[in-house]
Structures are given as structure tokens and as C-alpha cells.
Amino acid sequence: MTLRPFNRRFFMAGTAGLAGAAVLSGCAPGSTPTDQPSAPAPSDIATDPASMGDLELVVWDQEVRGSQNDSLVALNKAFQDKYPNITIKRLSQGTDDLKAQVTLALSGNDVPDVVQVNNARGDMGQFVKAGQLVDLSPYATAYKWEERFSPSVLSKVRYSADSTTFGEGNLYGLPQTGEIVGIFYSTKKLESIGGKEPETWDDYFSLLDKAMAAGEQPMVLGNIEKWPALHVYGPLQGYFVAADEVVKLGMGNAGASWTDEPNTAAMDKFQEWGEKKYLGTSPNGLDYDPAWTEFTKGTGVFLPGGSWLGTDMEATMKDDLHFMAPPPSKEGKLATTGGTGIPFSVPAKAKNIDAAAAYIDFITNDDAMQIIADNGGMPVLRTKELAPASGVQKEIFEAFDDVSNNGTLLPYLDYATPSFSDTAGQGLQEVLGAQKTGAEVLKAFEDDYTKFTGA
């Protein structure tokens, strides 16, 4: 398997352990907040690294794969060349190893200055609740980050100080890269059934019917791991359900419901896809990687999936492979599941907080986006501008730019609660396998959500 950037493929495998940690730490919304470290006024922040004296900046990251590592190596060199008074001491390791080390380190005194922290409730939310991360809001003012980043992107790294609310409030990190879940398709297969790229969801539903009638598998899904079905259901939910409601549900914020009419309509359609075998005869019996590999070899017309699959599939399919953001929602707006790479944060006990913030600013500025793109990554900013000249990556870059700036990047549904990845993954698998009805699964979703939010 070709290693790809951090994404839901890697994150969700470790969520069950995080759920247990959440129960032990008792940090559901409504519990007593931990005292947060005080934040400096923007005017008191030193923003010129050259004036900070000789120091060692300790950076922990998980950028170990291909373009990720190449980009950060280049950026670290550029930073040190510009500011020779600062020496970067980098510790780079796999996602799971870093996750374990950060959890232990942040409760002690020997912490890095900069660390990548997953922004889901089970990680960043826990650390915010414990007062273990710096609120970067004053730095956002000093460096004008809110002018650089779209609100949709910054919402993925915002929490209230007590971690009750996810998506609003203080800022606890900045990402470098983006990702989006959309629809891959084969032009040859689409033309063979007399179709063209769908402009509306009704067009898409009709093309699925045409594919089945023509003896083609409409969509491809490998769902043994359970989480892949969330990348089919999430964009579908984004069509039926208002974006602000999906954000509340997906971020575990009170005020929404999984069992209302729009969510029921989305689940009914998903259940229909399972009953009609539109996702294959046995999607729950197929692994994720073999599924998209089968798609590259001619199985299926469409493959709902994440942007990280583009490079591997294009190597086989060449110009036959295309990608599109899902059509506009019932509200007439662009909305689909998406997010960012793991954000860079600053521990509350870091020795060099101003230098750490300056480093984060440097590796996320406009020049950094160019370096990331030059090394094969998808930058979270200037994405359309820095897109390749042609091919599926150009389409992926443009789709992310369009949704993140003109629509809504809906949260990955596993963000919702520390246990929701298990609840949702199991539930969607049971719907596809006809073990439970959509209504029964939505009830389980609602129970998990309301237990966490206290609603």
C-alpha cells in the first residue's frame, strides 16, 4: 500500500482507545473547566524571530510520509537559513506513536515547543479541557491568520476554553494541508452508460440507476474497517441536511438531532443503496485498499472517497480518472465532508512560545503553501492557484478551494463524541448488511450524541 498523508484512514483506527480515555478523564461538555493558561495581548507578542536570541526550538511532528516529510524538511531549512539564531530540534514519528507520546508529555514539564495535535475531541479537545495548549487567538491577531485562513478551515481548530463547544471560540492550532471527500469517476464507464458528470444530486441518483440497469456496479466501497462508509454517508447527509446542522452533529455540539426528517431522508437513501447493492454485493466484506484498487481496474462507475486516493489511482487510470465535489445541497450550497492535515499547536508549558508561534506562522504562510505544492502536497491555502496544470489533482485542488472558501467543509462524523467513530462505523455497516434499519441506527447515533452533549 502506498503511504498517504494523514487522514481518516489512519486516525480512526485509534479512536476506541481515546473513547476510554475520555470516560476516565470525564471531560464531556458541561463538566467543570480546568483553568486555562492566560493569553498575552497581541501588542506584547514578539513576532521577529531574529530578535529572540539564540534558542533551540523543539518540534514534534508526524510528517513522515513522502511529500509531507519533504515539505517540512524544506521549510525547516528555510526557517533556519532566515533565522540562524534558532536551531530546530525535530522529532518525527508515526501518527500513533506521536499520539501516545504527546498524551504523556503534556501532563508533565518536558514538552516540545511545537507539536502536531489531532483536532478531534479525543485529542485536542481533551488537551484544551486540561489547559495543556496555548490559546493562539492573540497570535492570530498579531499575524493576521484570520485574514489568511477561511472561517471553514479555522473552525476545525477552534474550541471554547472548557472544550464544550467545538468549531467556535479560541484557536489552538494551524494546519498546513487540506483534504476533501468527493466523488471519483471513470469517464469511460460514465460514457458507456450514456452519462456525463452530474450537476445535481438528482442527476447522480439517476446515473446510479442507469449504471445498475447497464450491468455496471454503480459505486465502489470497501467497508471491513467500518470507517470508510462514513465517507459515503457524510456527503450524502450534506445534501439532505442543512450545513449548520451537520456541523453541530459532527462536532458534538448541542442543538441538533440525528432523528429529524432531513437526517432520516439521508439514512433512507443510504439504506436504499445498500438494499439495491449500489455499493457492491458485499461492501462490508471488502477491505478499503482492495476496493479502490478494484475501481482502478474497471470495477464500478463512481467511487466516493477522499482526496488522498488521487495520486495512487491516477497512476493506474491516467486521464480516465476524474474527481468532483458533490453537487450542491438542497440549500443550493456546496457542502461535503473535509478537513485538514493535523494542526500544529503549542503546549502551555513550552519554553519558547513566541518562537513557536512564529515558526507556525512561517510554515503556514503563502510561501510555505508553494513549497508544499512543489513537494506534492495539497496546501490548505492558495489551493486553486497552486493546483497542477491538469489531471485529477487539478480537479481535487480546485474542489477543495471551492468548498473551503465558498461552501462548508463538513466535519468528519467521528469528531462528534469520543465514542462516535465506533457508533457510526458499526451502525452504517449494519445498515449496509441489513442487520438493522436506518431508523434503528439513527436512534443509536442520537443516544451517543445526546449522552455526550447532555441534551
At 278 the pLDDT is 98
pTM for the model stands at: 0.87
At 65 the pLDDT is 78
At 27 the pLDDT is 39
CB-based contact 279:300 (threshold 8 Å):
no
Reduced to 3 states, what is the DSSP secondary structure of residue 158?
strand
Fold of the domain spanning 179-338+411-453: D-Maltodextrin-Binding Protein; domain 2 (3.40.190)
At 431 the pLDDT is 98
Nearest to 338 by CA among 401, 248, 272, 279: 401
Give CA separation, 4 vs 8, 61, 216, 325, 340, in Å. 11, 15, 29, 20, 14
At 362 the pLDDT is 98
Is the backbone of residue 108 left (phi > 0), alpha (psi -120 to 50) or beta? beta
| CATH 3.40.190.10 domain residues, the chain | 8-177+341-382, 179-338+411-453
Which residues in the chain show pLDDT less than 50?
A: 1-34
Under CATH, domain 8-177+341-382 is a member of which superfamily?
A: Periplasmic binding protein-like II (3.40.190.10)
Looking at this protein, which amino acid is placed at residue 192? S
At 11 the pLDDT is 43
Nearest to 181 by CA among 412, 346, 375, 424: 412
Phi, psi of 198 (to 5 degrees): -70, 140
